[in-house]
Every structure is written in C-alpha cells, then in structure tokens.
Amino acid sequence: MQTYVEWSSHEPQSGEYSWSGDNDLIKFVEIAQEEGLLVILRPGPYICAERDFGGFPYHIKKSIPGMKLRTRDPSYLARVDEWYRILFYYMRPLLYSNGGPIIMIQVENEYGSFGCDKEYMAAMRDITKKHAKDDVVLFTTDPRHSIGCGSVEGVYPTVDFGVTVDPNEAFKTLRKIQPKGPLVNSEFYPGWLDFWNEKHHEVSSEEICKRLDQMLAMNASVNFYVFHGGTSFGFTAGANAENDGNKYTVDPTSYEYDAPLNEVGDPTQKFFDIRNVIGKYLPLPSRAEGVPKPTPSPKKAYGKVDMSCFLGDVFDFIAKFSYPTISKEPMTFESLSQPSGFMLYSTNLTIQPTDPVLLKVPGLRDRAHVFVNRQLQGILTREFDIYSLPIMASKGDMLEILVENQARVNFGKAIDETKGINGKVWLGNKAIESEWVQYRVPLHEASTLEQWIDSKSCESFVDAKSSHRSPSFFKGTFDIESESDLAETFLELKGWRKGVAWINGFNLGRYWPVAGPQVTLYVPKVKLRKHNTIVVMEHESSPCASGRGGCHVELVDQHIVNGVVPDTL
C-alpha cells in the first residue's frame, strides 16, 4: 500500500497539529499492517495529489514572507525540517526495521517536473534521513522525461507512467539513471483526474491490463495510482494552471479517477480484470482460504429532503461571525489567515464613475460576485478569463466583491500564488484608492456553522430575499429509522447551480452540477445518524423560488460522476 501524507491536514493552522479522527495516520498505518500490507510512505512535503496547494498548509508562506517553496531557500528547508521532526516522531516506530510495515519513504514528489536543483534534492534527502534515522529505503518518483532532474545520489529512482507509454521505453530511460536494481513504476495510472466543465476521464480496462501484463512479464514492480478513488471533502480539492497562472482548471470534489476501486470503495470490473492479470504471476487468495469475494457495499436512496428552511444569506452570516480588517489595498486570504472559502471586500466609492463603468479586477483569484448597494451586478471568473464587467454605480455607493477561493493550484510553478484580490481594483482607467474593508467568511470552522444553524429560525426564501440574489443558506432534515438502515448514499442537487453542502456538520464538498461532470456528492455511511441535518450554501440560484421545481435535494443510491458538461466550451 502506498499513501501520501498531507501536511495541511495535520497542521491546519500554524503550530496546531491534528493526529486524531480522519487525521489518525498512525492508526491507518497500523490497520494496513493488521491486514498484511506493507506501506510505502510519501511524506512530500509537496504531494500534488490534486489536493489544495499540493498538500502544503496555506499558512506556510505567511510565517516568512518571500519564502520560495521547493527550493534551497533556508527558511523553507527549516520549515520542512520542523515538520519532519514532528511527523517522524510518530512514523519511526512504524518503520519496518522497528517492526512496523513502512518499507520505503519517498523524497520530494515528482520534483523533476518542477525544477532541476540537485543541491535542493540532496538537502531533502538529508532531512528525510535525519528524521527517519532507521534503515529504510528512500526513493524518488518522476515521469521518464524528467527523471534526470528528479533523482539524487543515494536515493533509488523510480518512474511513473500510464497506458500511453510503452514500459520498455520508460524503463530504458530509468536504466540510464539507475543501471541496476528493480524496475519500478511507482505511479501506474488506471484512470485520470477530472476537472469541472470537462468530460469525465476514463481509461479502458483492456489497455490497463495490457500494460500491466507487459510490466509483470518484465519482472517489474507496479504501484497503481490510484487503486482506490477517493473524495476531496470540504475545500481540499486542488486546481491546475499553466506556469503563468492562466488556463485555470479546478478539480471536482470526487476523486473517482476511474480507479479499480471506485470512490465508495466498491470493486469495479477493472478490479477483477487486473486481479486476473496478477493471477498469472502470483498466487491469489481464494475463498477456500476464507477470503470472501469483494462485493459492493449496500446503498440506499433515502428520498427527497425539503430545504425550504432559509437561514439567511452570506451577508447575514458575515454580520454575525466576522469582523472588519481595514487596509489601503485589498488583502489576500493568506494575509488574513483565511484558509479557504470566501472573503468579502467592501469599499465606498469616492469617485464619480461613468454610467456605466467597466469594473476590472485583474488580480482575482478565483471567482467573484460583484454587488453595488447589495444588488448583484454579475460574476467574474478566472476559469474563463472574465476579469471585468460593466456596472452601474455612483459616487458614495458601496461596492462589494465576494471572492471565492475555488482551490489552490497543486501542480507547477503557479503553486506559489495567493488567493483573493491581488493588487488594485479599477473603475475604467482609474484605480480605486478608497479604503478597503475585508470580512472573512469562516465556513471552514465547523463550530461556527453549528452556531449559525442553532441561532437561526426558518424563513421563507421568497419573502425574505425577493429583491436580490446572493449566496444563501438552506437547511433540511431527515430521519433514518434505525442504525441498521444506515448505508452509503449520494446527495443529488437537481435545480441547484453551485455551492457547498454539509451533512451533520461535515463538509461534503463543493457541488456544481451545471458545470459537470460530477452531479452527486458522496455521503459516507459513517457521517449519518438517525436524525440528520443537511445545510446547503447555494452561491448563485436555488430552486427555492416559486416555479423552479421544488425546494428540495434528494438522497439517491447511484453516484453520477460522468454527467453532461456545458456545450459552450
């Protein structure tokens, strides 16, 4: 078994560490050992994995302004050294030489695709050795075209590739770097990642099995990435961008990946096909030995849930849970210790603009609702290079820009960006010079959301908010008769456009069915109970106004990750 270690999960705020609940890495590795699995540990500190900021904690750059990630910058290496000191305090007892299951540790992660600094890689090797201490194999992982830059003396190089690459060619490149030793494909891709607004990626089982058969016939070692497609719950999904930060594409909540085990953990046909290939080279466990055949877990469709309980809009939420920070220019999420979600930027116009005037936010990261006197003017979006829109405004009016951090970039040079509004905002050809007031929207804090729910009574959305559109909160409840009826299920949001959903305080992640390809959100059985509460923060347009087909969501027993994407792309 191979697993990444996500730094941001274990240090969500600077100096505050988490090793319990979903972050109990120790228990996870121990369970692997109990199941007879050996473990390959990939501690990063950069992991990519289509996760927000490639697994780095959002606060890493705030502590030391100007820090250069993944370089020899002494401040960066010192920060990694401190993180590894804490991480390996927990991991050292689990190394193979200490009786644990961890047999290999990765140094960095596909560094050759980022840079070519051998001294940096040597420093990462030495930091890893310093904290692992015990006798353990260190390795690197890189695509064949960059393995020369990603490898380092004293660390075993491996290569990664999918079905489009001939194993003979890939391993020939590896042999130029490492003449002897095992041939290892440390990331063999059985599928591929998705982006919102793009079709779901699939790789045929036939192609996978053909390449796997080739590699096993060569006596090569193969690790699937990923064997089990998971979920980027909450705000943890990442994004891609070209090196200049353009062509921004965002990963959906689902990390289904067309993997042998799907997002819920069920075996697919690809799983059984791969198993058959492996059976040509290794003995397979049998039912005669007491090993049951893998079967899908039970699913349940709990039906429609009424969501007509309107809790208020984002401005109500801000008024109760946020406080102003005033500055001459807009401040970033990072500078205000806001890891994810939203930030509201507000200013009163001190100039008289033309009628209309073009509002320009060239430093937007990533999506913004623009309001004048609380009236929605339109939406800006980095994904489609829409950084300006005409607005109607006068001197003295209140301009508000509600910025959504859709996801930090997880791959390439653009990983070093900051979120929110970077730089000035313009009206026509004149920069706004009046003071900006920033309000954090702390949706990442579960306790804050609970307070919000407990403090609000239900209103009618149509009666309360008929005059304008703004991101709004809706609540619904449903009951399950007994614990024996608890099962995996999926949240379908027909008629809803874009937003975030929670169940019993747990953030299921972002939904965006009109963008596709993901339509439903996975609801794990372990997050359900007899009495359940669903909260939806709809960013754009809910079906709760009259004539929109009903104000509800539905819990269904089928997961849809290959839905229709827009025709206009």
Give the amino acid at 45: P
Angle subtended by helix axes 269-278 and 205-217, to nearest 10: 20
**Known catalytic membership, residue 110:** yes
Q: Is the dihedral of CA 329, 330, 334, 336 positive or negative?
A: positive
For residue 7, which of 61, 43, 50, 49 has the smallest C-alpha distance? Answer: 43
In a 13 Å sphere around the CA of 369, the CA atoms on its Cβ side amount to 23
DSSP state of 545: S
Cβ burial of 284 (10 Å; 0-12, 13-18, 19+) is exposed
Query: 519-529 as b/e, with b when 16 or more CB fall inside 10 Å?
Result: bbbbbeeebbe
- Asked whether the beta carbons of 22 and 234 are under 8 A apart, the reply is no
Secondary structure of 164-175 as H, E, C letters: CCCHHHHHHHHH
**Known catalytic membership, residue 119:** no
CA-only gyration radius of the chain, Å: 25
d(CA 434, CA 390): 20
For residue 111, which of 138, 141, 81, 84 has the smallest C-alpha distance? Answer: 141
Alpha carbon 186 to its chain centroid, in Å, reads 22
The CA-atom distances, in angstroms, between 424 and each of 95, 173, 191, 353, 439 are: 51, 48, 42, 16, 17
The one catalytic residue in 6, 108, 187, 400 is 187
The one catalytic residue in 6, 50, 110, 263 is 110
- Asked whether the beta carbons of 128 and 105 are under 8 A apart, the reply is yes
- Sequence-distant (6+) residues with CB within 8 A of 461 are 308, 310, 472, 474, 542, 544, 545, 551
What residues act catalytically?
Answer: 110, 187
